[in-house]
């Protein structure tokens, strides 16, 4: 029997009600995360990709219950995260940690690096002072920092080193799941690879599971075993890395990939490149139909693109797509149409 997934997200919805701009105005809702489901196997990296504002961070924060979701369920190692009482939730939180995008603002500028890394141990009442000291030294060397740097303050470190401090802090409680929310997008390109490779090495050494968020297809390809592509709060495509990158089915995924020549330079399937026009529309009260329709080069009234929301359906193996124009055999509109 196969091992149960570490994380199971079912029909997760997180909507934000916006206050009315005037007393007789219409109330409006941001559909930030809208009916999102996926499973993450232990020891793997599960990617969430999409443009800014598509709901990546809201999904992560909802899973960790740092934001209250509107509905749905989140199971972590069989525990129903959204229904747990405060005490068991606290215990569970030590097993799920978060690394933020910006190592500049996420570290307390007045605390030493050693105290920053020790903080989760204190919060969760784990070990004595002496044990904290030993654990912090061990974590420093694990992430490639020197033990004597424990007494330095965040501003004395480079961006890459600060992200190493964030990683050491996330590892302190020996978690099973680490949510990495754009962990390298604030770093110089040369430093990004070092931090990504550190995360890969730590995963191997500690059998970590990552929920890995990025807007960068190149980073997703480097890191992830499985990927969901989000657009305006909805999953539009889900697949393992090989299927997604060798044969993207959704026109949105295809456009994201075609914008990265290094990924696609020798792939037969990219017969044309497409540059998406404009930013995604607002997720406030989206229109009926496919949410990508306004920007999709293949949107077609006769195929219900503007009137019916396409459902996420399985095409082949575990490759799923939400597009009216992908055939049951997996022929995507970009495979047969030129634009
Ligand atoms: N507290 C809030 N109240 C109202 N709207 C919100 C709130 N938090 C997020 N949103 C909206 O929800 C949508 C999703 O935001 P989210 O931060 O999850 O996107 P993201 O994919 O992480 O974007 P980025 O790549 O810029 O980090 C956006 O339209 C955002 O403006
Ligand atoms: S359903 Fe229509 S509008 Fe949406 S991605 Fe597919 S072809 Fe484009
Ligand atoms: Mg975000």
pLDDT tens for each residue of 129-179? 999 999 999 999 999 999 999 999 999 999 999 999 999 999 999 999 999
Q: Atom of ligand 2 at shortest distance to CA of 303?
A: 2
Ligand 1 site, residue 32, Cβ cutoff 6 A: yes
Residue 281: what pLDDT?
82
Residue 270: what pLDDT?
52
Ligand nearest to the CA of 236: 2
pTM of the predicted protein model: 0.94
Q: Whose CA is nearest to atom 27 of ligand 1?
A: 52
Ligand 1 site, residue 54, Cβ cutoff 6 A: yes
CA distance 144 to 128: 24
CA distance 324 to 332: 10
pLDDT tens for each residue of 31-75? 999 999 999 999 999 999 999 999 999 999 999 999 999 999 999
pLDDT tens for each residue of 200-241? 999 999 999 999 999 999 999 999 999 999 999 999 999 999
How many CA atoms, within 13 angstroms, populate the side-chain half-sphere of residue 242?
A: 3
Q: If DSSP states are collapsed to H, E and C, what string results for the chain?
A: CCCCCCEEEEEEEEEEEECCCCCCCCCEEEEEEEEEEEEECCCCEEEEECCCCCCHHHHHHHHCCCCCCCEEEEEECCEEHHHCCHHHHHHHHCCEEEECCCCCCCCCCCCCHHHHHHHHHHHCCCCCHHHHHHHHHHHHHHCCCCHHHHHCCHHHCCHHHHHHHHHHHHHCCCCCEEEEECCCCCCCHHHHHHHHHHHHHHHHHHCCEEEEEECCHHHHHHHCCEEEEEECCEEEEEEEHHHHHHCCCCHHHHHHHHCCHHHHCCCCCCCCCCCCCCCCCCCECCCCCCCCHHHCCCCCHHHCCCCCCCCCEEEECCEEECCCCCCCCCCCHHHHCCC
Residue 285: what pLDDT?
79
Residue 114: what pLDDT?
97
Q: What is the best residue among 19, 20, 57, 182 to mutate for testing ligand 1's pocket, by most ligand atoms within 8 Å of CB? A: 57
Residue 128: what pLDDT?
93
Q: What is the best residue among 237, 274, 300, 310 to mutate for testing ligand 2's pocket, by most ligand atoms within 8 Å of CB? A: 310
Whether the Cβ atoms of residue 230 and residue 312 lie closer than 8 Å to each other? no
Residue 103: what pLDDT?
73
Q: Whose CA is nearest to atom 7 of ligand 1?
A: 16
Q: Whose CA is nearest to atom 8 of ligand 1?
A: 58
Compute, in angstroms, the gap from residue 224 CA to the centroid of ligand 1: 23
Question: What average pLDDT score do residues 320-325 get?
Answer: 98
Q: Atom of ligand 1 at shortest distance to CA of 230?
A: 21
Compute, in angstroms, the gap from residue 148 CA to the centroid of ligand 3: 33
Ligand 1 site, residue 15, Cβ cutoff 6 A: no
Ligand 1 site, residue 57, Cβ cutoff 6 A: yes
Residue 56: what pLDDT?
97
CA distance 81 to 92: 8
Ligand nearest to the CA of 305: 2
Whether the Cβ atoms of residue 315 and residue 249 lie closer than 8 Å to each other? yes
Class of domain 7-19+27-95+175-336: alpha beta
Question: What average pLDDT score do residues 309-318 get?
Answer: 96
More reliable by pLDDT, 25 or 63? 63
Ligand 1 site, residue 56, Cβ cutoff 6 A: yes
pLDDT tens for each residue of 115-130? 999 999 999 999 999 9
Residue 263: what pLDDT?
57
Residue 112, pLDDT > 70, answer yes
Question: What average pLDDT score do residues 174-188 get?
Answer: 95
Shortest CA distance to 40 belongs to which of 10, 67, 15, 16?
10
**What is the pLDDT confidence band of residue 335, given thresholds at 50, 70 and 90?**
confident
Residue 10: what pLDDT?
98
pLDDT tens for each residue of 248-283? 999 999 999 987 766 555 455 455 666 676 777 888
CA R_g for the chain:
21
Residue 165: what pLDDT?
97
**What is the pLDDT confidence band of residue 2, given thresholds at 50, 70 and 90?**
low
Residue 339, pLDDT > 70, answer no
């Amino acid at each position: 029997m196969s091992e149960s997934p570490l994380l199971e997200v079912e029909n997760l919805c997180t909507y934000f009600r916006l206050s009315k701009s005037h007393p007789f105005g219409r109330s409006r809702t941001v559909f930030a995360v809208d009916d999102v489901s996926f499973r993450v196997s232990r020891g793997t990296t599960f990617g969430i990709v999409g443009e800014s504002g598509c709901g990546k961070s809201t999904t992560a924060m909802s899973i960790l219950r740092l934001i209250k979701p509107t509905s749905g369920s989140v199971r972590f190692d069989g525990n129903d995260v959204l229904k747990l009482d405060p005490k068991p939730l606290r215990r569970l939180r030590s097993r799920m940690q978060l690394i933020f995008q910006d190592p500049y603002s996420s570290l307390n500028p007045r605390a030493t690096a050693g105290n920053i890394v020790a903080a989760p141990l204190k919060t969760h009442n784990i070990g004595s002072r002496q044990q904290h000291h030993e654990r912090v030294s061990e974590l420093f060397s694990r992430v490639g920092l020197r033990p004597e740097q424990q007494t330095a303050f965040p501003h004395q470190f480079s961006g890459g080193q600060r992200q190493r401090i964030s990683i050491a802090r996330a590892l302190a409680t020996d978690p099973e799941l680490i949510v990495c929310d754009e962990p390298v997008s604030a770093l110089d390109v040369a430093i990004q690879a070092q931090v990504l490779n550190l995360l890969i090495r730590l995963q191997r050494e500690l059998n970590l599971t990552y929920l890995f968020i990025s807007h960068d297809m190149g980073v997703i390809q480097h890191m992830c075993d499985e990927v969901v592509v989000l657009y305006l709060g909805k999953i539009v495509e889900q697949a393992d890395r090989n299927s997604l990158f060798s044969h993207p089915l959704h026109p949105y995924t295809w456009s994201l990939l075609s914008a990265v020549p290094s990924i696609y330079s020798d792939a037969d399937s990219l017969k044309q490149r497409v540059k998406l026009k404009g930013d995604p529309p607002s997720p406030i009260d989206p229109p009926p139909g496919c949410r990508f329709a306004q920007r999709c080069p293949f949107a077609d009234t006769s195929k219900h693109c503007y009137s019916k929301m396409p459902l996420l359906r399985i095409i082949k193996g575990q490759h799923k797509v939400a597009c009216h124009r992908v055939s049951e055999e997996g022929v995507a509109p970009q495979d047969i149409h030129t634009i």
